[in-house]
């Protein structure tokens, strides 16, 4: 079966049976309804700039702005935005973890990353967390608007620059190397893995990271699933084998 590809300056497309190209998720809502957008960025000037531009668009409704991942999770749960425009380099809780939690709790909310990070590892982390699109902050306002409209319609969107980075990475076989498995982990998951390997219990890890025990448990379960690990012993062995901790530690 063939698959329709819609070119909108970046990559957007539809996955159909038997095809592994870019995909289309279910379209929702009426075309007459404004697109409700939440902006998440810890840089005031970045939030204000994006908001000022979006508020000039008649079909966009900016429902709020936040400066950290924790607040993005809370606002997403409360207001159910159609699209969250999010920077992944924010203070506080890991934005990658925030994306995963938002997508788990509100599948109708699309997350579009707008960031300075253009490395393949960051792109892969966003994709693994369930992110719906990825743009660099060097993008034009026109492309930002196009990306918001695209992910709202149910399509994934990656800017041409990001698409090029990922194509080169795949051509070099970078994503297939076993040692790159830890790139699948968010920064916070990697911290939890390291502390587990160093012998800390969940409660102690929670105290060190200033989060709840439940949050640590969630990170632990998620990292074990991503790495296909089934016990604390396997976590420790993986950490040693990949240089995350050493025997001296």
- 40-92 pLDDT, tens digit per residue, is 999 999 999 999 999 999 999 999 999 999 999 999 999 999 999 999 988 76
Percent of the chain with pLDDT over 70: 78
pLDDT confidence of residue 9? 41
pTM for this predicted structure: 0.62
Give the span between the Cα atoms of 79 and 67, in whole angstroms: 16
Q: How many residues does the chain have?
A: 249
pLDDT confidence of residue 86? 97
Neighbours of 2 (CB within 10 A): 9
Contact 34, 149 (CB under 8 A): no
Indicate if the pLDDT at residue 99 is higher than 90. yes
pLDDT confidence of residue 5? 29
Q: Which of 133, 110, 180 is nearest to 9 (CA)?
A: 133
Indicate if the pLDDT at residue 228 is higher than 70. yes
pLDDT mean over 152-175: 71
Comparing 23-27, 74-78, 149-153, the range with the smallest average pLDDT is 23-27
Bridge partners (DSSP) listed for residue 158: 11, 134
pLDDT confidence of residue 40? 97
Indicate if the pLDDT at residue 231 is higher than 50. yes
Domain boundaries, the chain: 5-169, 178-241
pLDDT confidence of residue 204? 92
pLDDT confidence of residue 89? 87
- Report the CATH architecture of 5-169: 3-Layer(aba) Sandwich (3.40)
pLDDT confidence of residue 122? 83
- Report the CATH architecture of 178-241: Orthogonal Bundle (1.10)
Residues 6+ apart with CB under 8 A from 167: none
Residues 6+ apart with CB under 8 A from 151: 83, 110, 111, 112, 132, 133, 157
14 confidence band (pLDDT: 50, 70, 90): very low
Indicate if the pLDDT at residue 25 is higher than 50. no
pLDDT mean over 6-26: 38
Tokens matching residue 35: 């697109």
* More reliable by pLDDT, 168 or 4: 168
241 confidence band (pLDDT: 50, 70, 90): confident
């Amino acid at each position: 079966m063939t698959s329709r590809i819609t070119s909108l300056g970046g990559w957007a497309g539809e996955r159909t049976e038997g095809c592994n190209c870019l995909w289309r998720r279910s379209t929702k809502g009426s075309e007459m309804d404004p697109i409700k957008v939440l902006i998440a960025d810890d840089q005031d000037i970045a939030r204000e700039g994006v908001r000022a531009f979006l508020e000039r668009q008649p079909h966009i409704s900016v429902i709020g702005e936040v400066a950290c991942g924790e607040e993005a999770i809370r606002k997403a749960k409360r207001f159910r935005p159609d699209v969250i425009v999010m920077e992944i380099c924010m203070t506080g809780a890991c934005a990658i973890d925030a994306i995963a939690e938002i997508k788990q709790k509100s599948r109708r909310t699309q997350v579009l990353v707008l960031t300075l990070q253009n490395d393949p590892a960051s792109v892969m982390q966003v994709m693994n967390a369930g992110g719906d699109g990825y743009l660099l902050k060097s993008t034009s306002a026109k492309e930002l608007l196009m990306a918001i409209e695209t992910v709202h319609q149910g399509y994934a969107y990656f800017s041409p620059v990001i698409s090029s980075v990922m194509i080169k990475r795949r051509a070099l076989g970078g994503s297939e190397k076993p040692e790159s498995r830890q790139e699948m982990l968010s920064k916070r998951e990697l911290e939890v893995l390291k502390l587990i390997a160093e012998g800390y219990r969940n409660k102690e890890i929670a105290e060190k990271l200033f989060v709840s025990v439940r949050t640590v448990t969630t990170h632990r379960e998620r990292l074990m699933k991503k790495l296909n690990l089934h016990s604390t012993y396997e976590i420790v062995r993986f950490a040693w084998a990949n240089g995350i901790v050493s025997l001296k530690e």
